[in-house]
Amino acid sequence: MRQSGDPYYSHPIEVAIMLAEFVADEAPKLFTSNMINAALLHDTIEDTELTEKMIIEIFGKEIAKHVEGLTRIKPHGKISVEESLNLLIKQKRYDTAFIKLFDRIHNVQTLAAKSPEKAKKIIEETLRNFVPLSIYLKIKIPTIFLDIQIDIQKKFLLGLRILIHFFLQSLKVIYTPNISNPCRNNNRY
């Protein structure tokens, strides 16, 4: 189960769908079914008992290479997001970097389920690493990040409106005058 309450498998499915739609429309020469399979498996080494060796046996070396590139757990320990992306670019594994980018896009879209501290960290990492990556890969992803920012702002404003509404409702309960005032409209504050 994800922190958002969605089933675990919903995240890799969303990543695979976004990747497939983008690659089909914007970069069809880059598209391989192995990329989609790797997107579906991208968190398995970090989140399940599945190992790289098991992925090789079941899905083949190419998919396993993508999945290994997408995991931040390495033989010497866990590496940072920045180190992971730099490694992919240095190795010219742009197809794997695309998968990582769409993984991040979906993570940003589901920030509401994270604590404010974790959400802030994800946003900072995204601005510092993934927006420049999308520019480096010459893809139009920054507009997606802008759309997400607008969506977050709308949700914040909606939350603020709801908070104000409940505050005013609680004032109604707390403030009940003992005398009738003909000048006071009881239905409005």
Calpha distance 65→62 (Å, rounded): 5
Q: Is the dihedral of CA 44, 49, 53, 56 positive or negative?
A: negative
Q: Please give the positions annotated as active site.
A: 46-47
Q: Name residue 78's beta-bridge partners.
A: 73
Q: Which amino acid, one-letter code, is at 41?
A: L
Rounded Cα distance between 133 and 83, Å, is: 13
CA distance 134 to 41: 22
Rounded Cα distance between 36 and 119, Å, is: 27
